[in-house]
């Protein structure tokens, strides 16, 4: 199966889109600071899922999924900080947090599957 057909990649793409849209609400002075970090972390999640999907060994697949999980944790932390600083309103973030939680659960499940095989 191609990675674009994988539900986890599709979910990660939706998360990246939502996070990038949320980052547009940041103050102008954060355009090249936090906004850039949010965008990079968000894009890293589906990118690492796609790269891992194309690897041959389970170990390599699991490694790229772990990197995606790390990027997801980084993104979640950045969004939480922006919310706490009042840079992004809570409303638009709730759907993004939901996507982050779903993606995290899917990554954890898939990583466990690769480790147990």
Banded pLDDT at 108 (limits 50, 70, 90): very high
Banded pLDDT at 67 (limits 50, 70, 90): very high
- Neighbour-count burial for 39-52, b at 16+ CB within 10 Å, e otherwise: bebbbbbbbbbbbb
CA distance 63 to 99: 22
9-37 pLDDT per residue, tens: 999 999 999 999 999 988 888 778 999 99
- Domains of the chain: which residue ranges? 3-116
Give pTM, 2 decimals: 0.92
Note whether 37 and 77 are within 8 A (CB): no
pLDDT score for 103: 97
CATH 2.60.40.10 fits 3-116, yes or no: no
pLDDT score for 117: 65
């Amino acid at each position: 199966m191609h990675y674009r057909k994988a539900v986890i990649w599709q979910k990660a793409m939706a998360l990246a889109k939502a996070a990038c849209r949320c980052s547009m609400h940041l103050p102008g002075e954060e355009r090249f600071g936090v906004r850039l970090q949010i965008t990079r972390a968000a894009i890293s999640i589906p990118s690492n899922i796609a790269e891992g999907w194309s690897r041959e060994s389970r170990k390599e697949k699991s490694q790229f999924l772990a990197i995606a999980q790390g990027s997801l944790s980084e993104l979640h932390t950045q969004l939480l900080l922006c919310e706490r600083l009042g840079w992004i309103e809570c409303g638009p973030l709730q759907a993004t947090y939901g996507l982050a939680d779903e993606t995290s659960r899917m990554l954890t499940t898939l990583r466990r599957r690769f480790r147990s095989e």
